[in-house]
Amino acid sequence: MCALRPLAASLLLLLLCSAAAVASAHNITAILEGFPEYSLFNSYLSQTKLADEINSRQTITVLALDNGAMADLAGKKPLSVIKNELAIHTTGNAPGNTGFVNITDLQGGKVGFGAAAPGSKLDSSYTKSVKQIPYNISVLQISAPIMVPAILAAPAPSASDANVTALLEKAGCKTFASLLVSSGVIKTYQTAMAKGLTVFAPNDESFKAKGVPDLSKLTNAELVSLLLYHAVADYTPIGSLKTSNAPISTLATNGAGKYDFSVKTAGDSVTLDTGVGSSRVASTVLDSTPVAIFTVDSVLLPTELFGKSPSPAPAPEPVTSPSPAPVSPAPGPAAKAPSPLAASPPAPPTATPGDAPAAGPAAAESADSKSDNAAGDSRAPALLAAVVAVSATVVVSSLLMS
């Protein structure tokens, strides 16, 4: 019989415990704040916005590094490279197929961790369990960073290297790109990129959609405000959008107007609500710290330029016909008073029998009838089973002992 070694079996249980049920939300920043030995790791999760992505996941496993190991990983690398490396330890959203992790049962009861790429070394090993919230999040400490040569060797992208207009045109947003250039707003975008920029670019079809105002009728200042409204002066990847609760300011925000929008999420779907209409985030064009570019399926229309979305018209009140005015009879000739001799004497009063009812029979009583099957009690149990993959796809090898 072949059996899993106890430590490896326990780790597999921890890694896969997230695949059992729906659980409450978690906050990785708050969790790690209680452990000062992971403060540098926690700080980089916030700087790279990976913390937001972790918090947006229903279930996830985090491979944490203590301050010494995190310092070795960060070194003098740019933030974009650090983010890709940390993604392997958290969300698995690393470039290409580099997000895969190899977990191997080593000799002497140790469990090794390394990149799943062929030839990668198992330079890290399991240290301890840091925090477990069943079916929700598992935080494990490993001894050293999982280094991926392909990530380390790749040239670090620079914000100044990103050609925004070329990226937009390739993504099907030529109209938006053309407006940015002709209005000069592209220069404002490029200036903001160094500190952080997120762009929401409407695709070409959205400018032809029914209900989109005629932009040619806007003044120069209004067109500039509209284009600035489609960008945020901060790096806001999709995970940060999903966890956003407060209205988000834009490049158009100033003292004269808010020019902000709110975010609504439903599963993996993210929708931007301007107050005039809503627009779905359709795809990611670029996500490279500190710049993110998304396409949206509608032009974002701020209330400051186009007013609020119209409320539904109230139902018309029922029209009632006016009651006819009473008609007074036309005056006629005065009638002669009848002669007292011609009047008939009144009839004598008729006595009512004592046992006669004073009024007709009362209305029949009404009784509410209830049907035995009018209201049914549905007792069919609802089965809730959500199987969710752990953060990084795990490749398990050498776990069986002959």
State both tokens at 194: 């160094």
Which residue type sits at 352?
Answer: T
Three-state secondary-structure class, residue 249: strand
Question: Given this model, what pLDDT does residue 401 score?
Answer: 39
Question: Given this model, what pLDDT does residue 309 score?
Answer: 56
Which pTM was predicted?
A: 0.63
Three-state secondary-structure class, residue 51: helix
Three-state secondary-structure class, residue 216: helix
Terminal-residue alpha carbon distance, the chain: 8
In order along the chain (402 residues), what is the average pLDDT of each group of 10 residues? Answer: 47 48 71 96 94 91 96 88 91 77 86 85 92 93 89 64 88 96 95 93 94 92 96 94 92 86 91 95 91 95 82 50 50 45 44 42 38 37 33 37 39
Inter-residue contact 10 to 36 (CB < 8 Å):
no
Question: Given this model, what pLDDT does residue 272 score?
Answer: 97
Question: Given this model, what pLDDT does residue 10 score?
Answer: 52
Burial of 221 per CB tally in 10 Å (0-12, 13-18, 19+): exposed
Which residue's structure tokens are 């229309």?
Answer: 301
Sign of the torsion angle spanned by Cα atoms 94, 72, 80, 30: positive
Report the C-alpha gap between 3 and 389 in whole angstroms: 24
Inter-residue contact 77 to 154 (CB < 8 Å):
no
Report the C-alpha gap between 265 and 25 in whole angstroms: 15
Inter-residue contact 167 to 285 (CB < 8 Å):
yes
Report the C-alpha gap between 401 and 2 in whole angstroms: 6
CA 50 to chain centre: 16
Question: Given this model, what pLDDT does residue 179 score?
Answer: 96
